[in-house]
Amino acid sequence: MTDLDRLEKNLLQQIEAADSEEALESVRVQALGKKGQVSVQMKSLGKMSPEERKQKGPLLNGLKARIGEAIGARKEQLERAALEARLANERADITLPIRPLPKGKIHPITQVAEEVAVIFADMGFEIREGPDMEDDFHNFTALNFPPDHPARELHDTFFLERQEGADPMVLRTHTSPVQIRTMMSEKPPLRVIIPGRTFRCDSDQTHTPMFHQVEGLVIDKQTHMGHLKGTLNAFIEAFFEVDGVETRLRPHFFPFTEPSAEMDVRYSRVGNELRIGQGDSWMEILGCGMVHPNVLKNCGLDPDEYQGFAFGMGIDRLAMLKYGIPDLRDMFAADARWLEHYGFDALDQPNLATGLSR
Ligand code: DAH
């Protein structure tokens, strides 16, 4: 074995034995650094005779290359081992709350609108929206309100200043005009809910000039009143998060539905608390019915081919009932303390899997 072979064997052993990146680095300096054992040999080439250099040169170059490679390979091994050790030891706790804790709450109306959307989305409904400023045609005429009929007055309508030659405009008094917009622009089968702002000239503990409704519309060929009741019962159970809610349909009148009904839900009052679902009293909760044939015709649908149901309810009222909010006007008072009390955590998105509200 030559001196060079011995040197190589020795260095390779040291490389193999290096058990940290620092230890390996010191072996590298010892071998390939300026004064390293291999470098010193390389320098000696200068002092050799041409023949000797011819013979030793390739040997030394080979040695240098092999040692360099062995160090590189060992380095990679050590780095991988270090990474694996870190991965095994370190934990990122992604359950930690954000600090400082987020400020601001979700308004109960937004919360309830989202809860309603989640429940109906689960039943296959899509969301549609329409403009706050409506023309007389969509808000009344197409919905089968006869011209100059007192029902138009019943809505305490805000009329907008009349423009020459244009259809009179109103702030929409209900979300029902979006039924018309949907039926005129889309083909059945339709299954939509329509949340949004509505406006009536009225103000007391349970009325504000601006409030919120959600409308439902289902149009298909054989949709009937049983589907209406089943859908609304399923909604009410999911929304109030109670099983076995008892409801009844009580005959009523709306120009755009025939037959029309109001849905009442059983409830009881225990102390200060309303218990929705069971009890001796009935509470009106929404309006509904089968879409009137005239409304279908006004939207270009053949009432001999299509039929369906519609319903409408107040989002704010649902929020007051579910979350025990006594005065509707507080909802719009922009009082931060009120929102702190009645608001919802922005990170808790309502969903049916983990619960609608917390
Ligand atoms: N638009 C009615 C209102 O504001 C509520 C309503 C009742 C909507 C019956 C409907 C319905 O779609 O079928 O008082």
Based on the fold, state whether residues 54 and 117 are members of the same structural domain: no
Could you identify the atom of ligand 1 that is nearest to the CA of residue 289? Answer: 13
What phi, psi does 27 have (nearest 5°)?
-65, -40
Based on the fold, state whether residues 176 and 281 are members of the same structural domain: yes
Which DSSP symbol is given to 147? T
Any idea which of 19-23, 232-236, 325-329 has the lowest mean pLDDT? 325-329
pLDDT, one tens digit per residue, over 331-349 is 999 999 999 999 998 888 8
The protein residue whose alpha carbon is closest to atom 12 in ligand 1 is: 311
Instruction: Indicate whether 239 pLDDT > 80.
Output: yes
Based on the fold, state whether residues 82 and 112 are members of the same structural domain: no
Instruction: Kindly give the distance from the C-alpha atom of residue 28 to the centroid of ligand 1, in angstroms, as a whole number.
Output: 84
pLDDT confidence of 354, banded at 50, 70, 90?
A: confident
Based on the fold, state whether residues 26 and 141 are members of the same structural domain: no
What does the alpha-carbon distance between residue 231 and residue 15 come to, in Å, rounded to a whole number? 75
For CA atoms 155, 157, 162, 163, the dihedral sign is negative
Based on the fold, state whether residues 160 and 52 are members of the same structural domain: no
Judge whether 355 lies within some domain: no
The protein residue whose alpha carbon is closest to atom 7 in ligand 1 is: 287
Could you identify the atom of ligand 1 that is nearest to the CA of residue 313? Answer: 5
pLDDT confidence of 162, banded at 50, 70, 90?
A: confident
The protein residue whose alpha carbon is closest to atom 8 in ligand 1 is: 312
Ligand 1 site, residue 277, Cβ cutoff 6 A: no
| Structural domain span for residue 14 | 3-89
The CATH number of the domain where 143 resides is what?
A: 3.30.930.10
Ligand 1 site, residue 316, Cβ cutoff 6 A: no
**Whether the Cβ atoms of residue 203 and residue 257 lie closer than 8 Å to each other:** no
* Structural domains in the chain (count): 2
Ligand 1 site, residue 344, Cβ cutoff 6 A: no
Instruction: Kindly give the distance from the C-alpha atom of residue 176 to the centroid of ligand 1, in angstroms, as a whole number.
Output: 6
pLDDT, one tens digit per residue, over 279-309 is 899 999 999 999 999 999 999 999 999 999 9
Judge whether 96 lies within some domain: no
Instruction: Indicate whether 325 pLDDT > 80.
Output: yes
Instruction: Kindly give the distance from the C-alpha atom of residue 65 to the centroid of ligand 1, in angstroms, as a whole number.
Output: 86
**Whether the Cβ atoms of residue 193 and residue 125 lie closer than 8 Å to each other:** yes
Ligand 1 site, residue 140, Cβ cutoff 6 A: no
Ligand 1 site, residue 286, Cβ cutoff 6 A: no
The protein residue whose alpha carbon is closest to atom 5 in ligand 1 is: 312
- Cα–Cα–Cα angle for 228, 314, 217, nearest 5°? 35
